[in-house]
Structure 1
Amino acid sequence: MNVVRTLAVALLAGLAIPATALGAEGTKIEAQDWSFAPPFGRFDKGQLQRGYKVYQYVCANCHSARLLSYRNLGEPGGPGFSHEAVEALASQVQITDGPDDTGQMYQRPGVPSDRFRSPYANDAAARAANNGALPPDLSVMAKARAGGPDYLYALLTGYGTAPSDMKMSQGMQYNTAFPGHQIAMPNPLVEGVVEYTDGTKPTPDNYAKDVSAFLMWAAEPKLEERYKVGARIMIFLLVFAVIMYLSKRAVWARLHRRDHSESA
């Protein structure tokens, strides 16, 4: 059974989840307990809906998410908003459209097919509003950073007071998870900044975890489907390995019997 044993060991090694991960510059990032963890995890729709609310009321003031459309909020495997809710959420923002018949741009309420509205007209406007710093787009941030959602959670909960022997640059904030421990973004999460309506406590820790989960979904909306395909492939490979092993035993058993009869 060496083939089966080797395959099983390989599969288990691939599914192992480290307790910590290393971020940029060797920063240690603690692994969190996510509902969507491999190999069979699923997104918590309630958490994604809360995470979108945190994104909408906090993150979207400075950060864009250009790859997301409002209709994605109602797609399978995501936050699970109803079609009516998606339409209502989209209509809450004003979208620049046009030109109209007079050649002028105009504002209109958003519709589900619109991309998430960016807070600034362009990168230059974003830099001008943030002392030269460009807030990164969050569409795939959970996949673009080492540690993924663990890193995002650590970053959002990593603000604190700088050590006495550390010289901070003007306008920078101390953060234990950010490379170099100096970040231009002020702490965006304070208790009560977003109101939850499902009984979840409106604490910075819950805000950070919910929005990190939402950004993980935004970066990989087909994650649940990928897990299902991966599980089917693993089952197929395991069954195939067993069949090949049994076939090998059957073939070699006949050869051994023939050699034994000839030698006799």
Structure 2
Amino acid sequence: MTSTLCRNIGSKLLLVQHGRHLRKQQISHFSRAKKIALGTSAFVAGAGAFTALALHYSVHASEDELHTPSYPFKHKGTFTTLDTASVRRGFQVYQQVCAACHSLNYLAFRSLVGYTHTEEEAKAIAAEAQIEDGPNEKGKMFMRPGKLSDYMPKPYKNDEEARAANNGALPPDLSYIVIARHGNEDYIFSVLTGYYDPPAGVSIADGQYFNAYFPGQAISMAQALYNEIIEYEDGTPATQSQLAKDVATFLRWTSEPHHDEKKLYGFRLVLFAAMLVPLCWYLKKRTFSHIKSKKLAFKA
């Protein structure tokens, strides 16, 4: 049985090598013109694929929009984690600036515990919020202080109220805004710092503002971040770029709360592969060494 298997494998290997040799002979018999045409076609195909890939990343938006720059966020590295201090400051920016219009429907107060705040701090933050609950024994809804199990309260009761308060525009929920936009946190940072006066020849409707990185460049949200608009708890200078960077990092965390854990698992996988790959290579060499070293003879 073993000898039969070895003969079958050896014959297949010989057939594969013979086929490769025939293909090489066929190509070597091509004329010079055919070889030049074949090489040119391969070069053009490769250049076209490279150009298409480059355009996908550099000109993803329309020609009337600016592509979001790539900013050096620390957590973009393969094995780097989110800056916890920046996430905490970003929550402060959201709480004092963004929460007036934007919701975080999928973030509970308990998510802050052990990452950006202690349990006591998270309970105090939750208690500041008024949560509608009920009905009570009289069949009526009532307001109560928030608990860790509650989700972040909405700034508006419904979408119609939100549109009425924002000139017809609906402020999006920010729970997963980073992974829902092309450019991720780079897009958030660019929009928050991309307010300029309209260039000559560009007219902006009433209630809208010119933003170089927003699709269409006319945004209904007024500029929200300015230098020293809030005071950080840790004493970090609250410049506009620092505020935008921190809230963008915070929104990356809300969009991907298991960001650090996934990178930890990836690091463990790399370490496991570093040990497993040499073992597999050794097993392959040991298994096929007697087959590769066997001399096969066939009668004509």
What range describes the TM-score normalised by the shorter chain of this pair? 0.7 to 0.9
2:91 counterpart of 1:52: yes
Alignment partner, residue 3 of structure 1: none
Alignment partner, residue 4 of structure 1: none
Matched-pair identity in %: 37
Question: Once the 2 structures are TM-superposed, how far is the Cα of residue 193 of structure 1 from its aligned partner?
Answer: 1.5
- Name the CA shift for 1:115/1:23 in 2 (closer, same or farther; >3 Å): farther
Q: TM-score, normalised by structure 1?
A: 0.84
Contact 1:22 1:29 in 2 (8 A): no
Question: Once the 2 structures are TM-superposed, how far is the Cα of residue 129 of structure 1 from its aligned partner?
Answer: 0.7
Structure 2: gaps (5+ residues): 1-56
Matches of 2:200 and 2:83, distance apart in 1: 41
Matches of 2:244 and 2:284, distance apart in 1: 54
Matched letter for residue 238 of structure 2: P
Computing the radius of gyration from Cα coordinates, the structure with the larger value is: 2
Alignment partner, residue 200 of structure 2: 164
Contact 1:142 1:148 in 2 (8 A): yes
Which of 100, 112, 115 aligns to 2:136? It is 100
Which of 233, 240, 243 aligns to 2:269? It is 233
Matches of 1:161 and 1:229, distance apart in 2: 46
2:180 counterpart of 1:144: yes
The one-character-per-residue Cα deviations of 1:120-177 (angstroms, maximum 9, x if unpaired) are: 0111111111111100000000110011111101110111111112121221111111
Matched letter for residue 182 of structure 1: A
Structure 1: gaps (5+ residues): 1-19
Question: Once the 2 structures are TM-superposed, how far is the Cα of residue 243 of structure 1 from its aligned partner?
Answer: 2.8
Matches of 1:182 and 1:238, distance apart in 2: 51
Alignment partner, residue 10 of structure 1: none
Q: Secondary structure at the match of 1:95?
A: strand
- Name the CA shift for 1:65/1:142 in 2 (closer, same or farther; >3 Å): same
Q: TM-score, normalised by structure 2?
A: 0.75
Q: Secondary structure at the match of 2:132?
A: strand
Matched letter for residue 86 of structure 2: Q
Q: Secondary structure at the match of 1:96?
A: strand
Q: Secondary structure at the match of 1:108?
A: strand
Alignment partner, residue 86 of structure 1: 122
Higher alpha-carbon deviation: 192-201 or 210-219: 192-201
Question: Once the 2 structures are TM-superposed, how far is the Cα of residue 228 of structure 1 from its aligned partner?
Answer: 1.2
Which of 74, 78, 81 aligns to 1:35? It is 74
Matches of 2:155 and 2:292, distance apart in 1: 75
2:241 counterpart of 1:219: no
2:151 counterpart of 1:115: yes
Q: Secondary structure at the match of 2:249?
A: helix
Q: Secondary structure at the match of 2:178?
A: helix
